[in-house]
Structure 1
Amino acid sequence: MIKPLFQNLLVMVNGTEASINAVKYAVLMAKLYRSKVHAVYVVDTATIKQLTLNRIFIEEESREYEESLEQNGLRYLAYVDELGKAKGVKIETELRRGAIWSEIVASAEERHIDAILLGGSDHDSTDQKEINSSTFKSILLNARCSVLTVKERMIEQLYKLA
């Protein structure tokens, strides 16, 4: 018998509208395919460390920024949990620290993920596209599972109907 393609899904959450849309898409997939959904937010300590080493941040600023990112991450993950519960889907949430792409790939391997969902958007700012493209490219190159970029234009309506 063939193993279902989407038993375990991982969604990268970064607080953007695109990543929240990817969560909604994962919720729909979970309902359709009876998948398990994992949402991961990564506190980008790798970039913070680089900024500190290059003397762009001082040590105290680094700690404050990291704490701020952690609080944001916890808030986003709580919201993701609510989105799942609203549609009867349990979403396991996880906050990690490190380089975003490597933590996403590591989490996917640890959890035997079948597909990583990344939020994509045609109307992101230029800065966000540059950040995402580097992160997304690294995930694409290093992931051992399928990677889906979610660009569903009707996701809000589909989520409401589910």
Structure 2
Amino acid sequence: MNSNLRLIISAIVSFSFYFAWSYWANSMATDNQALVLRSALVQGTLSATITILFTFILEKSVAKFGESYLSLVFVVPIICTVHSKTSQNIAIFKTFKNALDNSAKYLNNNVVPGTLLAPLLPISIQTSIAIGVNWLNQTPNLWLTVAPSIFITAIYGYVYTFALLSKPKQPVLQE
């Protein structure tokens, strides 16, 4: 199955599940069926859209951080050097990053693999959007509506990350 078809099927499944979940969760909070249906449509559409966006951001994040290591000892210097813009600082940053990567691999008991960090950005974006959209919609049972979405998205993010990293790399053919 190609990636576009897999993505479309995931979006349809996401819409269906979260539409039904939101309808059930909000029908317990109010008798206003128009509000319940609107909340279900908002959550279903949001979930389908977020599935597509989340997967795109996750693939970019995994490509950037998936096979890296980040030593916990070096988190503060990395954060401080990220904000520098001059060419000298960029050269220093690249040298420093290389030293950090090498030391992190050497100190593998004290590092966080990029595999664990890569899904955090898309998960936080999805969480913010889901809460914000449902809050604006005045969803009657906000937390019961969005909590499964956030939890299942986090699981999906880590499973998808491990699946991406477990694919064998394609050899580069030279002519």
Q: With the length of structure 1 as denominator, give the TM-score of the two structures.
A: 0.26
- Which structure would you say has the larger RCO, counting Cα contacts within 8 Å and 6 or more residues apart? 1
Give the number of the structure whose residues are more often strand, by fraction: 1
Give the number of the structure whose residues are more often helix, by fraction: 2
Q: With the length of structure 2 as denominator, give the TM-score of the two structures.
A: 0.25
**Which protein has the larger Cα radius of gyration, Structure 1 or Structure 2?**
2
